[in-house]
Chain A
Amino acid sequence: MKLIFREYLSSLRERGELDVIMPDLLSELGMNVLSRPGIGTRQYGVDVAAVGDDDAGTRTVYLLSIKPGNLGRSDWSSGPQSLRESLDEIRDVYIRNHIPKPYRSCPVVVVLCLGGDVSEGVQQAIVGYTDNHTTDRVRFETWNGDQLASMLLTGLLRERALPDTWHSDFRKCLAMVDEPLVSFEHFCRLVGSVAKQCKPSRPARLTAVRRIYVALWTLYAWSRDGGNIESAYLCSERAALVCWVLVKDHLSAESKPARDLKSSMGRLLDLHQAIGSDYIANIVAPRACVLHGLASSVPSRESLDVNLRLFDVLGRIGLHGLWQLLSYQRLEEHQTDEKDLLRQELSKTAALIVDAITHNPILCTPVKDSQAIDIDIACHFLQRVQCDDFIQKWIANIARTTTFAFRTNGPYPCMYDDYRDLLDHPEHTNEYRRDATAASILLPTLAAWAAFTHDADTMSHLSEFAAGDYRHSTLQLLYPGSDTEEHLYEGETLHGLNVNGFRIPSCCDDMVSFIGAEADATSAFDSLSPRSHGVWPLLFLASRHHRVPVPPQFWPLR
């Protein structure tokens, strides 16, 4: 296990990676973190400052200057970003002026914190430097990857306290990153056992969240090196949901553990978004801008595989956009530069969805009814960035191809989810066709978006189809119920209020009124915790991950 973590730590090469882990690690080692790394420059050479007892039990201030990866000669002493410069700044400025008053009399340990190792050529230079500048009060330590890995295991992960299966699940999870679903399965077992054995106290929950965070980070770093982050993406969604269950009831409290819980959860969501961004930027974006690019990248000769993968990707892009939108909404009025930057990012994501759909027409032909969820998520994002025209055309296209596929017995959307059933789909009997389309959320979803975009033609087309060829199908919408909050994040499917047995009206306004009336009649939506705590995209994430329809209350009803 130590080797795994050492490998993981050495692979954290960017800013915002190793330095984000260190505060949690120090906290779990019993230290009090005084300052965390901020965005932009370091604080006079210090990335993380903490106070805690040293080996002799003396209260000591630890000032960490963090350097990801190995330390070579150029990292040590060339330029203003070099480690030597940072150490000089720490000695000259930080120790003199920035240590908080209560700890000014404490001894200081300046830590050269490295993800990897010190290269041989620099070793002597460091020894010389630290010998020269060690005083009665200030001394120097080097924490390399090996040491950090030990600290992770003994401190943050508290190896001995972990469930028995943790190690084996974690190792399998990492070993199987090239088989993402197998890796994901082990990760689910791992986070499941951590959550299950977590005591109800806030510190225990905090530890559990941090463990999951480190496990996710390790998996991400591992799979990133392996060139396949699929498993990391799936696991990040599951981790976010499991941790949300652990923290959601404690977020309103003002105590320090509660605040720590909140910030740990925030970091986990940041990591999920980082993995999502990586996925979108490196896997999806280069392919979406090429005609048939995404579809041709699926290594399979089965059109079913292409279809399933592309709708899955579509949902992920939509979700990524919704997280970006949340970040945008959170910015203050005066943060105009950041707002401009994010606005550009939002436009890019919208363009990405448009490109993906335009260049891959298979995204107009869902084969599973539940792909309505991915369509819905993408539409939500597009609608919020004012791409109504595109939504209208896309939905009209889906409606047209869906009815065509149904009537010609092509691969029309069916309600089956199991791959084996989908492989055999469609069978060419009327009885099968009726069974395979006995229920649908897709048609109401399409009708809803046709209504919101005022597409009367598509609306009447869908209305006619639903009342004609599709009249055997139970059209339905799922509204959150009083039991949704309890079950949604953990993947229980039996929750919520199923509104069914309705017909699709031919008039857009009637459709909107119908959806709105039911939304007004139920109040559970307002009490869903991600909404009340300002992380509403988590509800989309839960819907996507557990394949449950997005609450209709998110639709632009007014």
Chain B
Amino acid sequence: MRDSTPDDGVLRAVLTAGGETDPDEFTSRAVTLSLDPSPTTRRAALFALGRIVPLDDDSLLARTLERLQQAVTTPAPEGETPAAVETTLALLERAPDRLASDVEPIIVSASDNLSPSIRSALALGLLRHRAILSTNMIDAIFSALGHADLTELETVSNIDLVLYDWDVDADRDRVCTLIQSLLTHRDNPLSLSNLDNFRHRLAEAEGQLLGWYVFSLLSSGDDRLCEAAAALLPYKEARPGIDIDLSATTPDPSWIPYLARKVLAYCLLKKECAAGLLLSCLRAVTKECRDQLESDILHSFLFNYVDAIQFFKTTVDAGDPAKRSVNRLARRLESYERDLDRIGICPSFTPSERERRLQAYRQHDFMLDVHKKAEQKSIFSLVVHKSILLYGSASVANIQGADGNTHRQEMRFAEHRHSFDFPRLYVIDPVGLHFRINRFKGERPPS
């Protein structure tokens, strides 16, 4: 049979079919063939082994488990260990309760292997058999998956799908650790855009959960994780609950100003979310660090978005630990704004007509470019036909229906606008702002 089957497909089929009629015989043969010199034969035999071994024959089951353990612990040709992992999980699927303790060492051993193909098998296994895996197996697989890098496209895709379905709330520590490992891999680390499904999952999650992940990533101080934290946040959304209770999650109060500065450094462009995160910091900060924190928030956040104080004001109630800080900040900001309102705009400082014209041209070109890029990226550009309508506030189209008649359809135009707030200091002190952000980004976690 070996000589006539260079492809392991036939062998797999024969062993699997034979296992249906004479499991003892074919299991014994599969065990023997799994030690065959031909890697193809070994892979096929291993594949069949987990699927045909009779569960009521303790001796054969023990031989099978022993062989699988051997396959994942001893150096083997490429493809053999993944096949062993796959067949082990298939075996577990057949009697999860009974075999969990027997299979666990095999999976744990396989997880120690740093081969990409094994990670791929483990990721697939996790995706398919998550419900029957023990905690130890899950821990081991998560740990193994943390070594995946950008070159392992299939594994990454499976990890993303696993995380999308995972209970990212109850199992937040484990998920966060995995994310941190994936994003900080030494060579070819992932970015959050590679985990799009996971990101969407969190984007739909409750504010407190999103806030927890953001702060957890920010607290690492690692630039890549902090960028990922910012990427988790949506634009223009003040999600209730994102202002999480940091006193319960932060190891030491001295971390609070540090976390606030990370929020300012990485999440500044997302005004609403940043306000929520900063409020968490204001609530948890100690008396000693409060002045410094208020100063950081005033100079690096509220001076950029003077209207953000409204968020603070409306969110804190009378008993809120941040109430006094918010009041102080509001007073200082009010005084700042009052002074600026008093002096107003200076007509003598107006740029010249030529300068204004050049700005307008540049702005126009920029917007055109943005529009084009947005259109190229839009899913609509793939599925719909584009027509330019020069006049009118509604469009009429005659559409032929299934009944063969033409139906007149009138559709009113709707305006679609998108706007975002720009940090004020980017205009009145761009290098200073950049310098400060850079300093905050480079700040190391408190020892």
Contacts and interface: CB of A to CB of B under 8 A. Distances in A.
Interface in A273-306: 279, 283, 286-287, 290-293, 295-303, 305-306
Contacts of A306: 427-428
Given A229-B348, A305-B351, A420 B358 contact: yes
B282 to A, nearest CB: 22
A360 B428 contact: yes
Interface stretch (A33-41, A113-121, A178-186, A549-557): A178-186
B349 A297 contact: yes
B346 A292 contact: no
Contacts of B342: 290
Interface in A423-439: 423-424
A405 interface: yes
A300 B351 contact: yes
A409 B336 CA distance: 31
Contacts of A182: 352-353
A352 to B, nearest CB: 14
Nearest to A312: B349
A401 B435 contact: yes
Contact of A303 (B303, B354, B428): B428
B185 interface: no
Given A290-B343, A423-B358, A423-B362, A364 B432 contact: yes
A404 B348 contact: no
Nearest to A286: B343
A360 B343 CA distance: 15
Interface in B302-358: 303, 336, 339-340, 342-355, 358
Interface in B346-375: 346-355, 358-359, 362
A424 B361 CA distance: 12
Nearest to A179: B353
B346 A283 contact: yes
Contacts of A179: 352-353
Contact of A362 (B350, B358, B362, B429): B429
B336 A291 contact: yes
B153 interface: no
Interface string A328-369: 000000000000000000000000000000001110110000
B428 A228 contact: no
B426 interface: yes
A418 to B, nearest CB: 10
A306 B353 CA distance: 15
A228 B429 contact: no
Contacts of B94: none
B345 A408 contact: no
A411 interface: yes
A309 interface: yes
A227 interface: yes
Contacts of A374: none
Nearest to B430: A303
A362 B428 contact: yes
B438 interface: yes
B29 interface: no
A410 interface: yes
A293 B339 contact: yes
B359 A302 contact: yes
A230 interface: yes
B431 A305 contact: no
Contacts of A298: 345-346, 349-351
Q: Give the secondary structure class of A's interface.
A: helix
A386 to B, nearest CB: 28
A502 interface: no
Nearest to B435: A404
A299 B349 contact: yes
Nearest to B359: A302
Interface residues of A, number: 44
A480 to B, nearest CB: 31
Contacts of A365: 429-432
A292 B430 CA distance: 13
B200 interface: no
A181 B431 CA distance: 28
A390 interface: no
Categorize the interface residue count of chain B: 20 to 34
Contacts of A300: 350-351, 359, 427
B63 interface: no
Contacts of B344: 297
Given A229-B348, A292-B303, A408-B438, A419 B354 contact: yes
A401 B431 contact: yes
Nearest to B339: A290
A299 B350 contact: yes
B444 interface: no
Contact of A178 (B347, B362, B435): B347
Contacts of A290: 339-340, 342-343
Contacts of B354: 181, 419
Contacts of B430: 303, 362, 365, 410-411
A297 B435 CA distance: 23
Contacts of A424: 362
Given A228-B348, A306-B427, A361-B429, A410 B434 contact: yes
A352 B300 CA distance: 25
Contact of A361 (B339, B352, B359, B432): B432
A260 to B, nearest CB: 34
A420 B342 CA distance: 33
Contacts of B358: 419-420, 423
Nearest to B299: A291
Contacts of B355: 305, 419
A405 B435 CA distance: 8
Contacts of A299: 345-347, 349-351
Contacts of B435: 401, 404
A309 B336 contact: no
A408 B422 CA distance: 21
Contacts of B351: 298-300, 302, 305, 309
Contacts of A410: 430-431, 434
A509 B429 CA distance: 34
A283 B432 contact: no
A424 B366 CA distance: 12
Contacts of B339: 290-291, 293
Contact of A181 (B349, B352, B438): B352
A297 B431 contact: no
Contacts of B336: 291-292
Nearest to A230: B348
A287 B349 CA distance: 12
Which residue, of B422, B429, B438, has the highest number of chain A Cβ atoms within 10 A? B429
Nearest to B431: A365
Contacts of B426: 303
B434 A408 contact: yes
B12 to A, nearest CB: 55
Contacts of A364: 431-432
Contacts of B422: 301
Contacts of B345: 297-299
A287 B343 contact: yes
Contacts of A286: 343
Interface of B: 303, 336, 339-340, 342-355, 358-359, 362, 422, 426-432, 434-435, 438
28 contacts: A180-B348, A182-B352, A230-B348, A287-B346, A290-B339, A291-B336, A292-B336, A292-B340, A292-B428, A293-B339, A295-B427, A295-B429, A296-B428, A297-B343, A297-B345, A298-B351, A299-B346, A300-B359, A302-B427, A360-B429, A361-B432, A365-B429, A401-B432, A404-B431, A404-B434, A408-B434, A410-B434, A423-B359
Interface of A: 178-182, 227-230, 279, 283, 286-287, 290-293, 295-303, 305-306, 309, 360-362, 364-365, 401, 404-405, 408, 410-411, 419-420, 423-424
Given A305-B351, A423-B358, 20 more contacts: A180-B352, A286-B343, A287-B343, A290-B339, A296-B340, A298-B345, A298-B350, A298-B351, A299-B346, A299-B350, A301-B427, A302-B351, A302-B359, A303-B426, A303-B427, A401-B431, A405-B431, A408-B438, A419-B358, A420-B358
